[in-house]
């Protein structure tokens, strides 16, 4: 069965007809030539396919494209404005938060989503007290590691990723 | 992957009608487990009925629940795990629920996974997920590869000859400790299922994870307020610090009298059985006693008299005993949720 759907990807409205079995990741990469989200494990274990979907970090491998008709998607390629890097992207560069770079678009989208969650006061598994007010600016290293645990880096650039996310967190208003 | 018809009905009754009328149809919500099963060949539905946009996405105050106070929260089945864990009312009145959710999966998956879908996720038994191996749950009558295989994740309570796996949900364990009720819509209307009766032991029908009939849809979960729910917590033991399923987990809710003795303790274990395991014998042992380490260890050992272990799973009884001591000690001391 085929289905027509419309997605807004990095600000562009795109209409595409896909087989209903197509994942959102394959629709983006294979049909719309949006190759910023990467295919790693394709089973929701590595986080490399992470995008922001309707403003939240979201895996695209464990999602059927047809179920997300009308969604607004921002990939790492669409995070920056007017050709400039997003501050989180710049922080990854400044802190060597990558080696081969394959996981980086997912890491960056996940970091942007995680910082937004913290800014909205969402607690995490390691938040000492559920009654406390969480804020992005004061996230501990333990908090950042926990909140980024859905993104694997096989090069092991975690030390740089942690530093990049911490700097981005501290820069939050 | 099999050809797939995709439907997105406008209301819950239409969704129920679509699935109940077609044995090859399945509900789709967040998709974090089902889409993976489509790829693996573990699930082969002919039709998916998408319920993810149905307006079952609010957390509301209710005043007509069974229980000592009558008040509580009604959680729509489509409330995302991340939103439920962040809800101030849940954090204050049902910390065990927030803690269990936050211990599960990753930030991305918690944004996608729904309340109803979390309860209906299927086992992560490696043999269930590997279609090249026999598995009675996936393919009834083929045998159990986990028995005598890579067994360290297996059940130690309530297993059967046919199936030795455990339920993977953290949320379900927490709900068992706060006596939640699941609201279910079927072709004949709505019914309420105490969460303890939602999941089942495998017996000779391991293919059935729950007591729901085909086409029944979870529309909401109701959490009744209680003094114990306010003093509740969760501990999850796992192979790595984050983003892993439980080896064992403990959810507990504790209501103490003024002299420090137990008025009521509710204890549920994850990772030990095919369903969240309410440790009712341990709860009875603790009633009227000060829940110090000695008393808790003794109570847990009474519950574990029924445990069956082998050299790969023996660690689980030790681990669940220690975890129960730890959780009850924290709850007894009070302090941060």
Query: E strand or H helix at B235, and its extent?
Result: strand B232-237
The whole-number average pLDDT for the span A42-48 is 98
Same domain (yes/no): A141, A124? yes
For an interface test with A, which of B34, B81, B108 has the most A Cβ atoms less than 10 Å from its Cβ?
A: B108
Task: From chain B, pick out residues whose CB is under 8 angstroms from the CB of A49.
Answer: none
Its pTM stands at: 0.98
Q: Contact B273/B167 with Cβ under 8 angstroms?
A: yes
Tell me whether residues B336 and A110 touch, CB distance under 8 A: no
The whole-number average pLDDT for the span B110-131 is 98
Final residue of a domain: which of A61, A78, A95?
A78
Calpha distance B138→B122 (Å, rounded): 10
Task: From chain A, pick out residues whose CB is under 8 angstroms from the CB of B112.
Answer: 58-59, 62-63
Tell me whether residues A56 and B111 touch, CB distance under 8 A: yes
Calpha distance B52→B30 (Å, rounded): 7
Tell me whether residues A67 and B337 touch, CB distance under 8 A: no
In angstroms, the separation between the Cα of residue B285 and the nearest Cα of chain A is 30
Calpha distance B52→A67 (Å, rounded): 8
Calpha distance A65→B270 (Å, rounded): 33
Asked if the C-beta of A116 comes within 8 angstroms of chain B's C-beta atoms, the answer is no
What the block records as the tokens of B130 is: 């590997």
Reference B144, options B123, B166, B128; nearest CA is B128
B80 contacts: CB under 8 Å, gap ≥ 6: B30, B110, B111, B112, B113, B114, B115
Same domain (yes/no): A55, A100? no
Same domain (yes/no): A69, A93? no
CATH architecture of B5-50: 2-Layer Sandwich (3.30)
Reference B304, options B291, B316, B294; nearest CA is B316
State residue B216's pLDDT score. Answer: 98
Task: From chain A, pick out residues whose CB is under 8 angstroms from the CB of B36.
Answer: 43-44, 62
- Statement: residue B67 has pLDDT above 80: no
Range of the domain at A45: 2-78
From residue A141, give the alpha-carbon distance in Å to each of A95, A159, A164, A169, B254. 15, 10, 11, 11, 32
Classified as helix, coil or strand, B178 is coil
Phi, psi of B139, deg, nearest 5: -140, 90
pLDDT in tens, A83-123: 899 999 999 999 999 999 999 999 999 999 999 999 999 99
In angstroms, the separation between the Cα of residue B227 and the nearest Cα of chain A is 17
Facing A131 at nearest CB: one of B6, B92, B99 = B92
Residue B306 DSSP label: G
pLDDT bin (cut points 50, 70, 90) of residue A173 is low
Calpha distance B149→B170 (Å, rounded): 25
Asked if the C-beta of B103 comes within 8 angstroms of chain A's C-beta atoms, the answer is yes
Same domain (yes/no): A98, A147? yes
pLDDT bin (cut points 50, 70, 90) of residue A129 is very high
Query: E strand or H helix at B139, and its extent?
Result: none
Q: Strands of B232-237's sheet, edge to edge?
A: B232-237, B248-256, B262-270, B277-278
pLDDT in tens, B252-290: 999 999 999 999 999 999 999 999 999 999 999 999 999
Task: Break chain B into its structural domains and give their ranges.
Answer: 5-50, 233-334
Instruction: Work out the angle at residue B169's Cα, subtended by the Cα atoms of residues B168 and B173, and round it to the nearest 5 degrees.
Output: 115
State residue A130's pLDDT score. Answer: 97
| Share of residues in chain B with pLDDT > 90 (%) | 97
Provide the domain count of chain A: 2
Reference B80, options B103, B55, B109; nearest CA is B109
Q: Contact B287/B265 with Cβ under 8 angstroms?
A: yes
Final residue of a domain: which of A33, A57, A78?
A78
| Share of residues in chain A with pLDDT > 90 (%) | 97
Same domain (yes/no): A92, A70? no
Asked if the C-beta of B243 comes within 8 angstroms of chain A's C-beta atoms, the answer is yes
Same domain (yes/no): A131, A95? yes
Final residue of a domain: which of A58, A78, A98?
A78
Task: From chain B, pick out residues whose CB is under 8 angstroms from the CB of A57.
Answer: 107-108, 111
Q: Mean of the per-residue pLDDT values for chain B?
A: 97
Calpha distance B155→B271 (Å, rounded): 7
CATH architecture of B233-334: 2-Layer Sandwich (3.30)
What the block records as the tokens of A120 is: 């909205």
Same domain (yes/no): A98, A164? yes
Task: From chain B, pick out residues whose CB is under 8 angstroms from the CB of A61.
Answer: 35
Residues forming a β-bridge with B76: B220
């Amino acid at each position: 069965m085929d289905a027509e759907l419309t997605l807004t990807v990095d600000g562009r409205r795109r209409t595409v007809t896909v087989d209903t079995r197509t994942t959102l990741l394959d629709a983006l990469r294979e049909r719309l030539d949006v190759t910023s989200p990467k295919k790693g494990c394709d089973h929701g274990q590595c986080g490399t396919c992470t995008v922001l979907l309707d403003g939240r970090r979201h895996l695209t491998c464990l999602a059927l494209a047809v179920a997300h008709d009308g969604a607004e998607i921002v990939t790492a390629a669409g995070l920056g404005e007017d050709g400039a890097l997003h501050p989180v992207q710049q922080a990854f560069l400044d802190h060597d938060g990558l080696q081969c770079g394959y996981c980086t678009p997912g890491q960056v989208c996940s970091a942007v989503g995680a910082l937004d969650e913290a800014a909205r006061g969402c607690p995490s598994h390691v938040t000492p007290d559920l009654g406390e007010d969480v804020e992005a600016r004061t996230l501990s290293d333990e908090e950042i590691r926990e909140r980024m645990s859905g993104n694997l880096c096989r090069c092991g650039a975690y030390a740089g990723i942690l530093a990049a996310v911490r700097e981005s967190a501290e820069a939050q208003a | 992957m099999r050809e797939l018809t995709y439907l997105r009905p406008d209301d819950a009754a239409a969704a129920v009608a679509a699935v109940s009328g077609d044995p090859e149809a399945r509900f789709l919500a967040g998709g974090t487990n089902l889409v993976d099963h489509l790829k693996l060949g573990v699930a082969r539905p002919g039709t998916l009925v998408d319920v993810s946009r149905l307006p079952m996405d609010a957390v509301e105050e209710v005043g007509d629940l069974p229980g000592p106070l009558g008040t509580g929260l009604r959680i729509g089945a489509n409330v995302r795990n991340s939103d439920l864990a962040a809800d101030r009312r849940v954090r204050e009145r049902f910390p065990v629920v927030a803690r269990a959710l936050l211990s599960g999966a990753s930030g991305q998956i918690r944004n996608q996974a729904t309340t109803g879908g979390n309860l209906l996720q299927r086992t992560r038994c490696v043999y269930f997920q590997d279609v090249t191996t026999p598995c009675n749950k996936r393919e009834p009558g083929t045998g159990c590869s986990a028995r005598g295989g890579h067994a360290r994740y297996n059940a130690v309570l309530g297993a059967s000859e046919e199936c030795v796996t455990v339920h993977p949900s953290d949320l379900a364990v927490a709900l068992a400790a706060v006596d939640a009720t699941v609201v279910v819509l079927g072709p004949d209307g709505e019914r309420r299922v105490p969460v303890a009766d939602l999941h089942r032991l495998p017996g000779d029908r391991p293919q059935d994870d729950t007591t729901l009939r085909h086409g029944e849809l979870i529309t909401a979960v109701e959490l009744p307020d209680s003094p114990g729910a306010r003093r509740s917590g969760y501990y999850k033991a796992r192979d790595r610090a984050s983003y892993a399923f439980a080896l064992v987990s403990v959810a507990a809710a504790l209501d103490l009298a003024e002299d420090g003795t137990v008025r009521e303790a509710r204890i549920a274990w994850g990772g030990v059985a095919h369903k969240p395991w309410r440790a009712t014998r341990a709860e009875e042992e603790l009633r009227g006693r000060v829940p110090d380490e000695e008393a808790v260890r003794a109570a847990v050992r009474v519950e574990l008299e029924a445990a069956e272990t082998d050299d790969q799973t023996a660690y689980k009884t030790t681990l669940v005993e220690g975890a129960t001591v730890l959780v009850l000690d924290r709850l007894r001391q009070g302090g941060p949720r």
